[in-house]
Amino acid sequence: MNGNQIQGLIGMVLTLGILLLLVLPSAVGAVRERRIDRQLREAGKRAGREQDQKSSSRSTVPSTATWYADGRRSKKFVSS
């Protein structure tokens, strides 16, 4: 190998190294996102199964805060 070939090889290796340093964070982030998505999917499946088991026959009644807020919303004035 002569001097020009060695310089070309060094330049190519440095260019590929810089490219790798630029791409690596996004690749790590993508892998992390996929792992989090998989965990959320599994947790959703587990929550769905638990919800089926914990079904209650009692009906839900709105809280006092909900009744108060509904009353306040209906008294808004409309400017013409």
Q: What is the pLDDT of residues 57-71, one digit of tens each?
A: 566 665 666 655 555
- Of residues 76 and 35, more confidence is placed in 35
Residues 6+ apart with CB under 8 A from 70: 62
Domain locations along the chain: 23-47
Burial readout 14-27 (b: 16 or more C-beta within 10 A, e: otherwise): eeeeeeeeeeeeee
Is pTM, for the whole model, over 0.75?
no
